[in-house]
Amino acid sequence: MTDLLANLNPEQLAAVTLPAEPALILAGAGSGKTRVLTTRIAWLIQTGQVSPAGLLAVTFTNKAAKEMLARLTAMLPINTRGMWVGTFHGLCNRMLRAHFRDAGLPQGFQILDTQDQQSAIKRLLKSLNVDDEKYPPRTVQNFINSAKEQGLRPDKVEAHDPFNRRLVELYVAYDAQCQREGVVDFAELLLRCYELLTFNAAIRDHYQRRFSHILVDEFQDTNVLQYAWLKLLAGHGHNAAGPQPNAVFAVGDDDQSIYAFRGANVGNMTDFEREFQVRHMIKLEQNYRSHGNILDTANHLISHNARRLGKDLRTDAGHGEPVRVYQAGSDALEAGWMVEEIKDLIAGGMLRSEIALLYRSNAQSRIIEHALFSSGIPYRVYGGLRFFERAEVKHALAYLQLLENPENDSAFGRVVNFPARGIGARSIEQLQDAARMANCPLFRAVAYVPGKAGTSLGNFARLIEQMRADTRHMTLPETVEHVIHASGLIAHYQSEKEGQDRIENLQELVTAAQAFVGEEGYRLDAPAFALPLRDGDAAPALPADGEAVIVDDAITAEMTPIVAFLTHASLESGDNQAQVGQDAVQMMTVHAAKGLEFNVVFITGLEEGLFPHENSMLDPGGLEEERRLMYVAITRARQRLYMSFAQSRMLHGQTRYHIRSRFFDELPEHTLKWLTPQQQSYAQQRIGTGGSSSGGWGRDWFKRPDETGYTGTKPTGGMDTGNGYADAKRSEKTGFRVGQSVFHNKFGEGKIVALEGEGADARAQIKFKRHDTKWLALGIAKLDPID
Ligand code: ATP
Ligand code: MG
């Protein structure tokens, strides 16, 4: 027992060994919150206070859940299988799988990721003839998700004007569509599970009795609904006359609250303290992660926030290296510089997986990926353009969805004519009309479509039936292998000149399925592989209300391998993307980096409008959240921290000219080392030269080729947007313009979506009709304008 507790400081030890009562550990980054939480689990088990099955632990990401399980097994010889460790979504999914009938869901319900949800909404708007200019799918999506995140079904949403009333109607229609198709979006997972526990006393009692210890990491970022869900599980307020609520052990850091935009509520911390009458509040103030300079930088930055609960962090680790700051002429040069630094680090013996590249928005990753790829440095992107989101992979997943449930309209719509089978828009409209009239899924409506369209649709339906029959007794990897061929996907991409990558991705999907089945860790959400397949035994019936024992681990029988795999694909944030086990540089957004740590961290794109993000700038609350985000970014680093920014950046098809982030003005000078001559500060650039802000920051900037080799030109217009950046198109420099249609003799027809650079460096990004979007060097590629 001493072993477990040996390396804790007195405050940590006190926290780990608290009695089984509500507790809140409030502490800064790197102070050992996650370690305390994990050690407490081990300690509770080791001292016999609880069995692994009596614990529920909530982590912020799947990656964190896996790490926690790995650490636990290293500490104790326990079987973690019966333990519930996962994200809110993962845990709710698990509960809903076990009780799908009580939750009013079909067995094998499928999960819509954010992108799928958006297409489902687009489809809905179309079928209802809703003007999508007035009701953009994004708006509808946000409206629905934010209502669900507050726990509000349509009848509880207040709508005072016609616009909002219409949104509520769309919410109703959307829910009906999901129910009909047997799909569940992310927000619904939580809400449905919350309702299950609220309305089903037997299930609620069962879990309340089961989970005597509930532990929550990153508590500051729970939203209203998640907190309410926790309260239900804890038995708080429900059996007031009964025993004490279960012990909730929450750890968090108000300075790292970065999900307010998604409804996270720091107020949950104070509510928790009050509502659970928390007697045990422990602060941890020693940081074990970062060297002094890194920590000072973080502390100094966050002291600019007014709204803080207040706490300090110190370290015994010594000052360490200064924080390195780099200014680049362009995003490409910034990426090039990073690659050189990374090569040096690797040559010096640094593990690639100990190097993290962080950025504020996913869109920034492409250019970095490109630079890493060109230099042959393996990397892995978490979040963002994930493996499972690539078009060809989504096509294959759609076929798998149809094997599982042919009545899934969104999967049906995605692949009915992919690869092309002569089923045109007109036939699909006919089919949709028929489905509406008969009020049935598209798959069943096929029978009602007459003529030629009916024949081709019938062929497709038979293809699906045939695949279902053929794969009935296959293992998951065999099924995937079969599907990518039988669907015609492989043949389709073989006939494409540039299809090789896509074929490799499809083959990678088979590998992913193998890894999924083989890897114990994945069994967390899907321990169903040894069991009968799709059409096999029915799941054990669960008792309705009453005192019967509920076999919650019946989940093992509920999910078929395909459903488990699809669930994994929608819940996992790209963990499978790089080859499993390969040492790779880690790339992710700052949001995704929360809770993680690396020896070396690069924070890139530190520019006004980007970080802090332009959307946050009008509102002081928004700016404080960006500052917390920056605090999270800085505190990920153990030994070495780099910060960089670029004067020009290609984003969303346009070159934007930026000034450096205001956060540089909020950092202590003594901890920083500028690798390039220091630029004017944000404040000087805004007001220094008096009068107009654009006149102030622009002048020398664009003319002078700087040390990094940048030879930028003055933007052609729209300099002052008030956000400190400007957009410009460089049409006259290249002879081409954005939006122009062009012809390339290998790739065919395409449209220019972006232009960059000039002279020998000029490049165009072109969206080709029959190929991927590509960057081509204008000096080399032969492009003929079409219009
Ligand atoms: P964050 O707020 O970023 O999530 P955290 O508070 O959860 O950070 P941990 O990740 O638990 O911090 O710990 C940070 C690092 O410090 C880890 O590498 C951990 O192993 C180490 N650490 C924590 N406590 C101690 C200790 N008492 N002795 C040595 N190392 C420690
Ligand atoms: Mg942590």
Mean pLDDT of the chain: 81
Nearest residue to 603 via CA among 667, 554, 657, 548: 667
DSSP 759: G
Q: What is the pLDDT of residue 337?
A: 96
Does the beta carbon of 32 sit less than 6 angstroms from any atom of ligand 1? yes
**In a 3-state reduction of DSSP, which class is residue 675?**
coil
The DSSP H or E segment spanning 476 is: helix 476-486
Q: What is the DSSP letter of 152?
A: -
Task: Give the distance (Å) from ligand 1 centre to CA of residue 90.
Answer: 24
E strand or H helix at 190: helix 186-199
CA of 300 to the centre of ligand 2 (A): 21
Please indicate whether residue 288, judged by its CB atom, sits closer than 6 Å to ligand 1. Answer: yes
Shortest-distance Cα residue to atom 8 of ligand 1: 30
**What span, in angstroms and rounded, lies between the C-alpha atoms of 469 and 534?**
11
Query: Which H or E run contains 213?
Result: strand 213-216
Digit-coded pLDDT (tens) for 263-301:
677 778 888 988 888 899 899 989 999 999 999 999 999
Angle at 385 between CA 358 and CA 266, to 5 degrees: 55
The whole-number average pLDDT for the span 12-25 is 95
Count of C-beta atoms within a 10 Å radius of residue 248: 25
pLDDT for the residue 62:
78
pLDDT number for residue 681:
59
Ligand 1 atom at minimal distance to the Cα of residue 36: 11
Q: Is the CB of 39 under 6 A from ligand 1?
A: no
Q: What would the mean pLDDT of 622-640 be, rounded to a whole number? A: 95
pLDDT at site 759: 66
Please name the helix (run of DSSP H) or strand (run of DSSP E) that holds residue 326, with its range, or none: strand 323-330
Q: What is the pLDDT of residue 498?
A: 64
Torsion of CA 626, 628, 629, 632, to 10 degrees: 160
Is residue 286 in contact with ligand 1, taking CB distance under 6 Å?
A: no
CB 52 near ligand 1, within 6 Å: no
Handedness of CA 440, 444, 448, 451 (dihedral sign): positive
For the annotated catalytic residues, the residue numbers are 33-34, 217-218, 256, 636
Rounded Cα distance, 24 and 41, in Å: 15
Q: Are 113 and 570 in contact (CB under 8 A)?
A: yes
Higher pLDDT, 594 or 549: 594
> What b/e string do you get for 216-231 counting C-beta neighbours within 10 Å, with b at 16 or more?
bbbbbbbbbbbbbbbb
Flag whether pLDDT at 575 surpasses 50: no
Residue-wise pLDDT for 682-700, tens only, equals: 555 554 333 333 322 332 2
Ligand nearest to the CA of 38: 1
By alpha-carbon position, which residue is closest to atom 18 of ligand 1?
A: 289
Query: With left for phi above 0 and alpha for psi between -120 and 50, is residue 780 left, alpha or beta?
Result: alpha
Asked if pLDDT for residue 619 goes beyond 90, the answer is no
Task: Grade residue 410 by pLDDT with cuts at 50, 70 and 90.
Answer: confident
The ligand minimizing its distance to the Cα of 636 is: 1
DSSP letter (8 states) at residue 378: -
Name the residue with the closest Cα to ligand 1, atom 24: 32
Name the residue of 34, 35, 599, 636 to mutate for ligand 1: max ligand atoms within 8 A of Cβ. 35
Tell whether ligand 1 has an atom less than 6 A from the beta carbon of residue 12. Answer: yes
Ligand 1 atom having least distance to the Cα of 12? 27
DSSP string, 690-741: -S-HHHHHHHHHHHS--TT-------SS----SSSEEEE--HHHHS--TT-E
As a whole number, mean pLDDT of residues 555-571 equals 70
Cα 522 from Cα 543, distance rounded (Å): 28
638 lines ligand 1 (CB under 6 A): no
**How many alpha carbons fall within 13 Å on the CB side of residue 421?**
23
Cα–Cα distance measured from residue 15 to residue 19, given in angstroms and rounded to the nearest whole number: 9
**Do 400 and 480 touch, CB atoms closer than 8 A?**
yes
Q: Whose CA is nearest to atom 16 of ligand 1?
A: 288
Question: Looking at 461-475, 607-621, 698-712, which range is the least confident one?
Answer: 698-712
ipTM of this complex > 0.95? yes
Tens-digit pLDDT profile for residues 212-253: 999 999 999 899 999 999 999 998 754 445 557 789 999 999
Show Cβ contacts of residue 48 under 8 Å, excluding neighbours closer than 6 positions.
Answer: none
User: Per-residue pLDDT averaged across 68-72, rounded?
Assistant: 90
Rounded CA gap, 637 and 611, in Å? 18
Going from the C-alpha of 715 to that of each of 660, 691, 699, 703, 777, the distances in angstroms are 17, 20, 11, 11, 21
Lowest-confidence range among 95-109, 358-372, 416-430?
A: 358-372
Tell me how far CA of residue 126 lies from CA of 301, 432, 433, in angstroms: 48, 11, 12
Average pLDDT over residues 403-420: 92
How far, CA to CA in Å, does 334 sit from each of 330, 341, 475?
6, 11, 46
- DSSP codes, 417-474: TSS--S--HHHHHHHHHHHHHHTS-HHHHGGG--HHHHHHHHHHHHHHHHHHHHHTT-
pLDDT at 741: 86
Answer yes or no: is the C-beta of 401 below 6 A from any ligand 1 atom: no
The region of weakest confidence among 21-30, 150-159, 521-530 is: 521-530
pLDDT, tens digit (0-9, with 9 covering 90-100), for 119-158: 889 989 988 999 988 999 999 999 999 999 999 999 999 9
Q: Is residue 431 within 8 Å of residue 457, measured between CB atoms?
A: yes
Least confident range from 114-128, 381-395, 441-455: namely: 381-395
Q: Which residue has a Cα nearest atom 4 of ligand 1?
A: 595
Which range is least confidently modeled, 547-556, 617-626, 709-718?
709-718
Taking the alpha carbons of 274, 279, 285, 286 in that order, is the dihedral positive or negative? negative
Whether the per-residue pLDDT at 580 is higher than 60: the answer is no
Q: How many alpha carbons lie under 13 Å from residue 54 in its C-beta half-sphere?
A: 15
| pLDDT of amino acid 154 | 96
Q: Per-residue confidence at 773, pLDDT binned at 50, 70, 90?
A: confident
Instruction: Say how many Å lie between the CA of residue 496 and the centre of ligand 2.
Output: 47
User: What is the number of the ligand 1 atom nearest to the C-alpha of 595?
Assistant: 4
Residue from 357, 746, 328 nearest 366 by CA = 357
Q: What is the model's pLDDT at position 198?
A: 95
Is pLDDT at 367 greater than 50 in this prediction?
A: yes
* 740-770 pLDDT, tens digit each: 888 877 777 888 888 777 666 677 888 887 7
Atom of ligand 1 nearest to the CA of 35: 11
* Stretch 201-222: mean pLDDT: 94
The yes-or-no verdict on residue 532 having pLDDT over 60 is no
User: Which range among 198-212, 337-351, 720-734 shows the weakest confidence by mean pLDDT?
Assistant: 720-734
Q: What is the C-alpha separation between 400 and 394, in angstroms, rounded?
A: 10
Nearest residue (by CA) to ligand 1, atom 13, is 32
Instruction: Tell me if 176 sits within 8 A of 409, measured CB to CB.
Output: no
Measured in angstroms, how far is the CA atom of residue 379 from the centroid of ligand 1?
25
Give percent of the chain with pLDDT exceeding 90: 48
- Mean pLDDT, rounded, for 671-686: 72
13 in ligand 1 pocket by Cβ < 6 Å? no
CA atoms within 13 A on the CB side of 530: 4
| Pocket lining: 94 vs ligand 1, CB cutoff 6 Å | no
Contact 276, 236 (CB under 8 A): yes
61 lines ligand 1 (CB under 6 A): no
Of ligand 1's listed atoms, the one at least distance from the Cα of 9 is 27
Q: What is the atom index within ligand 1 of the atom nearest the CA of 8?
A: 27
Cα angle 115-725-739, degrees, rounded to a multiple of 5 = 55
By CB neighbour count within 10 A (0-12 exposed, 13-18 middle, 19+ buried), where does 182 fall?
buried
Among the bound ligands, the one closest to the CA of 59: 2
- Distance CA(642)–CA(308), nearest Å, equals 26
What is the reported pLDDT for 525?
33
Distances 243 to 18, 215, 485, 530, 686 between C-alpha atoms, Å: 19, 19, 58, 39, 61
